[in-house]
């Protein structure tokens, strides 16, 4: 500990307070990741605890607390109870991150397998530990790479089982939630455009390309290439923006909305 510089010592303290780990573990994780928080958290959460193999029987008891009385799954009521225990709003985007970690196939559902192996791989064996992990999960949304993975995962998670595309209403709801996190000034225009002009389900390709569009093309569209491979719906959106005078010659006119 003495060998550590002051900045490093601060980081160890912070790391310990977030993860509740011992000093030794904190130093190991931070050293292994070159004193970057992100990497250290990953190491800490994916390795050290996973190995301690949470007791399956204990997890099964936990599962039974939320299990639906009529099916071998956790359904809406179970999720509501789970959110209650976590003191998280079921509409909170962090529930998407939880589901992403647990590789849940469908929104508002956990199979027994998803629930138990999900928690195991997170190294979590009690609700308290999961609750402690929530702030970290929320911070994962700030990571661009992780955000993209979560965003793309959200498509399959939110769509109806057996359907290929995502119902428009659900898609709009998810976009508003996700782009509240990663701010994209055109999101409200996009949703209005879809309701006015499209009114059909959204394909996976359009879904994933929209994030790229929001990421790469600046809100004034100055680097938008109409000859590019953007899905036709996005091209039509650009036409719509110009038609409605929202964008003019590479300038975004209306900055009055949520900034």
Partner 1 sequence: MKNRPAELIAKFVDEKLRAGNKGTSEEELEGTLDKVLVLFRYIQGKDVFEAFYKKDLAKRLLLSKSASIDAEKSMITKLKTECGSQFTNKLEGMFKDIELSKEINESFKQSSQARTKLPSGIEMSVHVLTTGYWPTYPPMDVRLPHELNVYQDIFKEFYLSKHSGRRLMWQNSLGHCVLKADFPKGKKELAVSLFQTVVLMLFNDAQNLCFQDIKESTGIEDKELRRTLQSLACGKVRVLQKIPKGKDVDDDDSFVFNDQFTAPLYRIKVNAIQMKETVEENTSTTERVFQDRQYQVDAAIVRIMKTRKVLSHTLLITELFQQLKFPIKPGDLKKRIESLIDREYLERDKNNPQIYNYLA
Q: What are the residues binding partner 1 (CB under 8 A)?
A: 164-165, 203-206, 208-209, 212, 227-229, 231-232, 235-236
Shortest approach of partner 1 to residue 217 CB, angstroms?
12
Q: What are phi and psi of 18, to 5 degrees?
A: -75, -45
As measured in angstroms, the least distance from the Cβ of 177 to partner 1 is: 23
Q: Which is nearer to partner 1, 184 or 213 (CB)?
A: 213
Residue number with CB closer to partner 1 (38 or 235):
235
Nearest distance from residue 203's CB to partner 1, in Å?
5
Q: Which of residues 115 and 213 has its CB atom nearest to partner 1 in the complex?
A: 213
Contacts of 227 (CB under 8 A, 6+ apart): none
For the CB of residue 211, give the shortest distance to partner 1 in the complex, in Å.
10
Q: How far is the CB of 232 from partner 1 (least distance, A)?
A: 4
DSSP string, the chain: -TTS-HHHHHHHHHHHHHH---HHHHHHHHHHTTT-HHHHHHHIIIIIHHHT---HHHHHHHHHHHS-TTSSEE-HHHHHHHHHHHT--TT-THHHHHHHHTT-SSTT-EEHHHHHHHHHHHT--SHHHHHHHHHHHHHHTTSHHHHHHHHHHHHHHHSPTT-SSB-HHHHHHHHHHHHHHTT-TTHHHHHHHIIIII-S-B-HHHHHHHHHHHHHS-TT-TT--TTS---HHHHHHHHHHHHTTSEETTEE----S--
> Shortest distance, CB of residue 121 to partner 1, whole angstroms?
24
Q: Nearer to partner 1 by C-beta: 28 or 165? A: 165
Beta strands 251-252; 247-248: pairing state: antiparallel
Closer residue to partner 1 (CB): 161 or 164: 164
Rank residues 164 and 251 by Cβ distance to partner 1 and give the closer one.
Answer: 164
Residue closer to partner 1, measured from CB, 61 or 149: 149
**Residue 159 backbone phi and psi in degrees, to 5:** -80, 155
Instruction: State the minimum distance, in angstroms, from the CB of residue 164 to partner 1.
Output: 7
C-alpha–C-alpha distance, residues 97 and 200, integer Å: 27
């Amino acid at each position: 500990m003495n060998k550590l510089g002051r900045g490093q010592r601060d980081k160890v303290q912070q790391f310990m307070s977030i993860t509740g780990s011992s000093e030794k573990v904190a130093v190991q994780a931070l050293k292994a990741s070159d004193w970057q928080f992100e990497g250290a958290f990953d190491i800490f959460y994916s390795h050290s605890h996973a190995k301690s193999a949470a007791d399956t029987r204990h997890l099964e008891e936990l599962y039974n607390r939320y299990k639906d009385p009529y099916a071998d799954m956790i359904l809406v009521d179970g999720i509501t109870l789970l959110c209650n225990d976590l003191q998280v709003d079921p509409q909170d985007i962090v529930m998407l991150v939880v589901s992403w970690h647990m590789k849940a196939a469908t929104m508002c559902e956990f199979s027994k397998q998803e629930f138990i192996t999900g928690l195991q791989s997170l190294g979590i064996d009690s609700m308290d530990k999961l609750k402690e992990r929530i702030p970290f999960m929320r911070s994962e949304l700030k990571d661009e790479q992780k955000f993209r993975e979560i965003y793309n995962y959200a498509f399959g998670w939110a769509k109806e089982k057996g359907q290929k595309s995502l119902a428009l209403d659900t898609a709009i709801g998810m976009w508003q939630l996700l782009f509240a996190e990663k701010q994209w000034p055109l999101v409200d225009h996009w949703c209005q455009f879809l309701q006015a002009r499209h009114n059909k389900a959204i394909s996976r390709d359009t879904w994933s390309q929209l994030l790229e569009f929001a990421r790469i093309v600046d809100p004034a569209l100055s680097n938008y290439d109409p000859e590019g491979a953007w899905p036709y719906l996005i091209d039509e959106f650009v036409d719509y923006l110009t038609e409605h005078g929202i964008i003019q010659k590479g300038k975004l006119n209306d900055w009055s909305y949520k900034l």
